[in-house]
A and B are shown apart, each in its own frame.
Chain A
Amino acid sequence: MTDISQQGSGPAAPSRKHGDTLMQLTARTKRRNAAERRFQAYGIAAIGVGLLMLAILVVNIFGNGMGAFTQTFVSLDVELLESKLDKKGNRDIEDIKKVSTFGYAPLIKGAFEAKVAELGLETDLKSKAMADLLSKSAPAQLRDYVLADPDTIGKTVSFRFLANSRVDGYMKGRVSRESIENDKNISAAQLDFADQLIEAGVIEKTFNPAFIFGADASDQRPEAAGMGVSMLGSLFMMFVVLALALPIGVAASIYLEEFAAKNWLTDIIEVNISNLAAVPSIVFGILGLAVFINYMHLPMSAPLVGGLVLTLMTLPTIIISTRASLKSVPPSIRDAALGVGASKMQAVFHHVLPLAAPGILTGTIIGLAQALGETAPLLLIGMVGFIASNAPDSVASGLMDPNSAMPAQIYEWAKRADPAFYERAWGGIIILLVFLVTMNTLAVILRRRFERRW
């Protein structure tokens, strides 16, 4: 059988020359197939670009941020000279308190000199320049130690001091001899000396829990800055959000889903909620500033205010997800409850709500995770621009005292001039992401574990 009958079929058919078969592609088919392949390639490329961006982002975050979890320390044996710290020698705490941190600086210089002599290092550096390898917090650390235990005066105690951020950067490869040419905080000679100490094992880079649990430090001391206090700030805000957004959101959804009559008022509420979900977060910040701070005179920078603003922001999310999970409970459950004599309210609260609870919980966790990462409204209510250095000591002070929050703290670090803070900012992001990933995983697990298919 030949395909002779095919010849001269319709005008729209491709002109098939004699000898063409279905096995051999015409130019037009080839063109169409090529277009098909191109189209598919665009799709793959688009997904590839998206995933590549994700990969770049993740590599960037971890590449730049892991350094923040280790820190360079200098181990020194400091002789706590009685002649400097307690001239009267009667160990009176009030007298010892009079010695300011300046009074402790000579001890550190002395400790360096002793170290140099002990190790037999050769250096032209003055002891002042050696002491500058340490963080500016070193004398304060000594003073706190002595004030906590005055009996140690006169003894020699070994300390681990934070190294200066430049030395830390040198250990981490961020600072080199070329990059410090115009830097008045450190000189090449000091780096040479640091090299000698590194070799002797006096300067070491180890894990630094203070970054996770500690407080923020002034913009002069990036090496001492930590996330701990702002983490507490975020925690208190999340308490406020959970305590307000969950009950209000669930109550609103129950009304809208189960009781509301179809009328214009319900329509307005529904349109309102879906629009609120799309309002830019900064607008909620303006609302918070105008209403909570300017009008109600709640304290600036307080986690309570942050929590209230984030509550308003999270409510639509929670309402939308709660309504979805209420809707997924089949009507037969309600009918059965009503059939055995329950009131409408009893049917909802005793039967529908417990069945929808896993879904509501999942939605709430996702809403909280969103609120945890939100920054813009916090800028307006003043949760940046100061140093969150004191951990709150009670629930009331945790809610009312100025504090920062994790994302606000990251923004604060990113704004500071010293590039050593950038590493902190990336490190802070790792901590923030750990929280977000944990919360989202929890939500997924809850959904998998308790989701019911009807």
Chain B
Amino acid sequence: MPTVWLVVFVIAVSAFGYMAGRHRALQSAGGDSRALHSLPAYYGYNVALTVLVPSLLVLALWLFVQPILVDNRVSDMIPAEAIPESSTLGLVMSDVRRVAEGLDIAVEQGALTEQETRAIRTEFTDVRSRLGELGVALGADVRPEVLQAAQRYRQINATGHLLMSIAVTVLALGGLAYSYAATNKDFRARNVVERGILALLILAASLAILTTIGIVLSMLFETTNFFRLHSWTDFFFGSTWAPNFRGDSELSILPLLWGTLYISFIALLVAVPIGLFAAVYLSEYANGHVRAFAKPLLEILAGIPTIVYGLFALLTVGPALANIFGRGPEGLLGVEWMSGATSVLTAGVVMGIMLIPFVSSLSDDIINAVPQAMRDGSLGLGATKSETVRQVVLPAALPGIVGAVLLAASRAIGETMIVVMGAGAIAKFSLNPLESMTTITTRIVSQLTGDTDFASPETLVAFALGITLFVLTLGLNVLALYIVRKYREQYE
């Protein structure tokens, strides 16, 4: 892996630079560090950072940009008529990459020389079987234009890589020379180094913004592709979710949204009363021992991974509910209301259990923030403790509690594993909680796992669903924060 060696080289140069810079600074001060502007180490850091940062930044940027440029150049080579009826440019390009990779492996294993890979022609050699012998399986015979494109791809890549190595090496050595030359006893090394470090800190902090931009852009890009292939009216206002691969899929978000909201509603129906009462009891009634014992135990529920809840829904709660409400005369109630283990109720109840500590610890904090004077006043007027809680503490804490419930709702809407394993796969509008329904997150998972073809609306719809989910949860969070800020009673 030459890129790794490049990084190692840069690091080695910078380590050398540290020692050289430090030494030169001390020498220029005649070995007396008191004559230096900064501590000796800063002169070393200065040289090391000047070597390291620009060259590694260029390296990272190059690695990011090169694939796009290469793809563009190579895909221009593939004529439109060379793309088969059922295929797309993207699929042909992935063929090209695969062949190129195969040729790389062939060179690596010594089966072909570099010259041979350039000269190889489909007219004379069966490339597929040649590569097959080396363990590179190709789906179909290699067509001449694909092979040519692959050869071009390798060539451009190799050139790009060479240029990159040269650029990085030049930058590293140039940085070394420049900063070494600048090093003398009057050079303000500490200020320069600190400015550099501050820039790095800012870079790290802006990564959060970059991530958000990445999320939005990547989903927006694919979503516009989706709406080019599928009408947006059907997506937002249609009534059926029925993907198929004949090309006349009906992909409407509404039934999925209904399933999502219904399951979240049941989850909140479980979590909010239990969580709220638990919080009230823990903060108002429980003595120190009970609190120290029960609070961490409840919070364990929040630390359990969702896959565990998913399995719990699939293998324990689902069958148990089916035993009660289903299976006809063999069941507990002797009724046949539930046909399988997956249902809205299954997923909702399990998700509710997961959300209990979420609601309870958030409300606990909020209730504790209500000043003791208000309780004392109420108790002093003769109210009982529960009357105080209901008529004084809870109204004072209400905005915070509403905020907590909204945060829990946003968590429920975005939850994936529990609904994937517990809710089922049928998209429909129904009020019966014992039927299986499907949610936005479940459909995202099922449309994007397995073989994905980024040119079909059935795959791309997942991005439209994803951005809807993103907007939905973001909106709920912002609303929660807004409510908390706007209606919070300020006690001082």
Contacts and interface: CB of A to CB of B under 8 A. Distances in A.
A297 B97 contact: yes
Chain B interface size, under 10 / 10 to 19 / 20 to 34 / 35 or more: 35 or more
Interface in A379-418: 379-380, 382, 384-385, 396, 407, 410-411, 414
Contacts of B218: 286-287, 290-291, 295
A429 interface: yes
* Centre residue among A50, A61, A278, A374 by max chain B CB count within 10 A: A50
Interface stretch (B12-20, B48-56, B307-315): B307-315
Contacts of B194: 343-345
Contact of A54 (B97, B298, B414): B298
A198 interface: no
B307 A296 contact: no
A194 interface: no
A411 B390 CA distance: 44
Contacts of B206: 269
Interface in B47-82: 64, 67-68
A36 interface: yes
Interface string B308-324: 10111011100000000
Contacts of A39: 385-386, 389-390
Interface of B: 1, 64, 67-68, 97, 190, 194, 197-198, 200-209, 211-212, 214-215, 218-219, 221-222, 273-278, 280-282, 284-285, 294, 297-298, 300-301, 303-308, 310-312, 314-316, 353, 356-357, 360, 384-387, 389-390, 407, 410-411, 413-417, 420-421, 441, 444-445, 448-450, 452, 454, 462-463, 466, 469-470, 473-474, 477-478
Contacts of A38: 386
Interface in A36-51: 36, 38-40, 42-47, 49-51
Interface in A275-326: 275-276, 278-287, 289-291, 294-297, 312, 315-316, 319
Nearest to B93: A297
B417 A411 contact: yes
A259 B198 contact: yes
Contacts of B281: 40, 42-44, 46-47
Interface in A240-280: 247-249, 251-252, 254-256, 259-260, 268-269, 272-273, 275-276, 278-280
Interface in A151-172: none
Nearest to A377: B416
Interface stretch (A181-189, A354-362, A432-440): A432-440
Contacts of A42: 277, 281
B205 A252 contact: yes
Contact of A255 (B201, B307, B414): B201
Contact of B386 (A36, A276, A374, A380): A36
B307 A410 contact: yes
A336 interface: no
Nearest to B212: A272
A407 B305 contact: yes
A53 B416 CA distance: 20
Contacts of B441: 280, 282, 376
A73 interface: no
A21 interface: no
10 cross-chain pairs, A with B, having the tightest CB-CB distances, nearest first? A280-B414, A43-B281, A373-B305, A46-B277, A251-B204, A39-B386, A290-B218, A255-B201, A376-B416, A252-B205
A384 B417 CA distance: 13
B306 A375 contact: yes
A61 to B, nearest CB: 7
A278 B473 contact: yes
A75 to B, nearest CB: 32
A218 interface: no
A50 B198 contact: no
Contacts of B470: 279-280, 283
A333 interface: no
A46 B294 CA distance: 11
B307 A429 contact: yes
B274 A49 contact: yes
Given A39-B389, A372-B305, A375-B310, 8 more contacts: A33-B384, A57-B304, A278-B411, A283-B470, A287-B215, A312-B211, A343-B190, A379-B416
A119 interface: no
A35 interface: yes
A211 interface: no
Given A281-B416, A376-B441, A64 B469 contact: no
A56 B320 CA distance: 13
Given A43-B285, A282-B414, A282-B444, A54 B207 contact: no
A57 B320 CA distance: 14
Given A50-B274, A51-B297, A57 B308 contact: yes
Contacts of A420: none
Contact of A380 (B282, B294, B307, B445): B445
Contacts of B275: 46, 50
A278 B403 CA distance: 13
A64 B308 CA distance: 13
Contacts of A268: 209
Contacts of A281: 414, 416
A60 interface: yes
A369 interface: yes
* Centre residue among B209, B211, B353, B462 by max chain A CB count within 10 A: B211
Contacts of A436: 303, 305
A276 B211 contact: yes
11 contacts: A38-B386, A40-B281, A50-B275, A50-B357, A252-B204, A259-B198, A279-B414, A279-B473, A290-B221, A373-B305, A414-B311
Contacts of A422: 315
Contacts of A374: 305-306
A177 interface: no
Contacts of A319: 208
A315 B416 contact: no
Contacts of A126: none
Contacts of A316: 208
Interface string A115-132: 000000000000000000
Contacts of B201: 251-252, 254-255, 259
Interface in A333-381: 343-345, 369, 372-376, 379-380
Contacts of A255: 198, 201-202, 204-205
Nearest to A32: B384
A81 B101 CA distance: 45
Contacts of B211: 276, 287, 312, 315
Contacts of A425: 311, 315
A196 to B, nearest CB: 33
Nearest to B284: A43
B311 A410 contact: yes
A426 interface: yes
B473 A407 contact: no
